[in-house]
Structure 1
């Protein structure tokens, strides 16, 4: 039962993680669940001890189609036990990074608007309490991205924000028709004047899964997008590096959003809107690794993963791999990397 401390933990909009793993400080080669920390109970928090924060956002009632993406944060936490901190692809060990699991943003059972407000307020609180930490958010459906970016803008009013989006879809559906849902976050941010269309770079569009009217809207807004077919022709690494380079010259902050439906349906069966012809897992892992290396990438979310639709936890494991691949890139940032303030 929640006591007064927990209700204010570590600021009122958050709930402690739904469970915690036993953590042995003396393990020489920890698994991820033995490495990621949780905050001590009834003790003051020294935020300077941490580099990265993880925050769960268990919301999927705002999905246009039925989804249990709200269950993803807990599912990803349970899969941490399947991974070590060592990445043999790059000969990188993450164990020297100090990562803290903050738990979840409080959600209301039926009031989606209140849930969204809590998400925005939680981002503001994170930027207030520990602005030097790089936040990684585990969604939840894609509606949360608009709320998180709005929170960042509220905390950093003068910051110019760009979006790097790995997605099968534009997510530019009409907010007036669908509301602040999982199909509208990018349009929501553009029409709220939080971001400019020209500061959005979408990589991964393919096939028959976007209406022509959405492409027309993207073109009108000056949105930058590269289809997966074209990205493969040019080389996905090249396309991602170019997007980051161009964004870095225009904005102060790049917000990375990874919609797991960017994966091919065979690789991501747990993404409710996964389709044939999407990315391979290795392509996505490479893409987020590159993004992690950029000092301008100051926040990340992973969204639209429904563990109830998954097969053999393959998509959940891919989601954890995305998070760890991004952190592998983060480790490779220069020793004089800029603060995320």
Structure 2
């Protein structure tokens, strides 16, 4: 009740305060300028407004509470940063890029004087016309960027296992130039054209020179888009790194024979978000018997699926193995499998449980928690991660708290840690 009484007094005081101008001599500034004059002025050292107020002039009979408030503001002047904004909080300012990294014209012709250099490029693939269930992932790149607004600098004390170099790492200030390339233009009307556009976009990004001399080519992180986009990212990465091992976090195997999922009618139907790893192996981008699925739990479509998956070079850790083996054993199995090959990480956000990531195209119950996924990712420290993607984020099916987009952004933050740790 005392608090409510005080609020009432303050409100009444403010209501009366508009009459304060009668206590000023000459042509006084407004009450706003009296109380907040620093806010309304520039802070770059240039001349201030002639209306700037040196001190408050109140009538002798003004209420004591209001006098105390005005006295406090007069005696405790704020020290504002200069007008450059460089030290201000950047959460909601400027164009939304991933974690506020700078924009780069990554599709600029290599012969152009404007062609940028960078070490790690983030690019969107707004494509969702090869899905078997829910469409909507074309809006995923934008939602992941929105979910990344609180990222961009700082040391994360939970990165890595105890004693890891990741625990003292700020990926955004680690000596690597990280840029956001925006989205590749992809038509929604013809999958052949769209995937060709994505390949050309990925190839353009990979062909730029790096700032760090020891990199063969820029590392590329792709924001999906449905999972089909991984095929074009692998094709472009293969041209620079040769055959790779793929660590595939997903609830589905995605190595389905095209005749089982989507094929048998036209060749165009055969490339989709459940068959792209079949083609990646068939076309030689993936090294035999060196790749790993993590988090699998969706049913097979045909009794031949498991053998076909092995023929495509994959072994699997299913979702419930997390309750049996523990993190260290899971990480050991993954590292032993991929060895010292260049590694491509692909994360379908549906590897997470539907309660953690409702905004996805083919949700399955019984998945990983966000903590489990991030812990395993951090455990991959030391692998040669040459490329990555996070796909199947559908903001239309997300919660109103944007939890899927925020988790997806944090996953990319962990990938940046793996790419930048020395």
TM-score (norm 1): 0.80
Verify the 8 A CA contact 1:286 1:325 in the aligned structure 2: no
Q: Distance in 1 between matches of 2:352 and 2:99?
A: 28
Instruction: Using the TM superposition, give the Cα deviation of residue 189 of structure 1 relative to its aligned residue in structure 2, in angstroms.
Output: 1.1
Please list the CA deviations of residues 141-160 of structure 1 after superposition, one character each: whole Å capped at 9, or x if unmatched: 1101111111222344xx12
Q: Distance in 2 between matches of 1:68 and 1:104?
A: 16
Alignment match, 2:409: 320
Q: Distance in 1 between matches of 2:322 and 2:302?
A: 20
5+ unaligned residues in a row in structure 1: which ranges?
A: 1-23, 335-341
- CA-based RMSD of the aligned residues comes to 2.5
Alignment match, 2:134: 66
Alignment match, 2:58: none
**Residue 304 in 1 paired to residue 392 in 2?**
yes
Q: Distance in 1 between matches of 2:306 and 2:330?
A: 19
Verify the 8 A CA contact 2:137 2:392 in the aligned structure 1: yes
Alignment match, 1:285: 374
Alignment match, 1:229: 320
Alignment match of 1:106 (pick from 173, 185, 192): 185
Verify the 8 A CA contact 1:172 1:184 in the aligned structure 2: yes
Q: Distance in 2 between matches of 1:225 and 1:295?
A: 18
Point out the more displaced range, 240-249 or 129-138.
240-249
Please list the CA deviations of residues 277-308 of structure 1 after superposition, one character each: whole Å capped at 9, or x if unmatched: 100000111122233x3341110000111111
TM-score (norm 2): 0.66
Q: Distance in 1 between matches of 2:99 and 2:378?
A: 22
More strand by share: 1
Q: Distance in 2 between matches of 1:152 and 1:105?
A: 16
Alignment match, 1:9: none
Superposition map of 1:1-341 within 5 A: 26-27=86-87, 31=91, 35-39=100-104, 44-47=114-117, 50-83=118-151, 85-86=153-154, 87-89=156-158, 90-97=167-174, 98-130=177-209, 131-156=216-241, 159-176=242-259, 177=263, 178-206=269-297, 208=299, 211-249=302-340, 251=341, 253-291=342-380, 293-311=381-399, 312-331=401-420, 333-334=421-422
Verify the 8 A CA contact 2:225 2:391 in the aligned structure 1: yes
Secondary structure of 2:186's aligned partner: coil
Please list the CA deviations of residues 117-161 of structure 1 after superposition, one character each: whole Å capped at 9, or x if unmatched: 1222222222211354221110101101111111222344xx121
Bigger Rg, structure 1 or 2: 2
Secondary structure of 1:194's aligned partner: coil
Instruction: Using the TM superposition, give the Cα deviation of residue 218 of structure 1 relative to its aligned residue in structure 2, in angstroms.
Output: 1.7
Secondary structure of 2:199's aligned partner: helix
Number of residue equivalences:
303
Verify the 8 A CA contact 1:248 1:254 in the aligned structure 2: no
Q: Distance in 2 between matches of 1:210 and 1:278?
A: 19
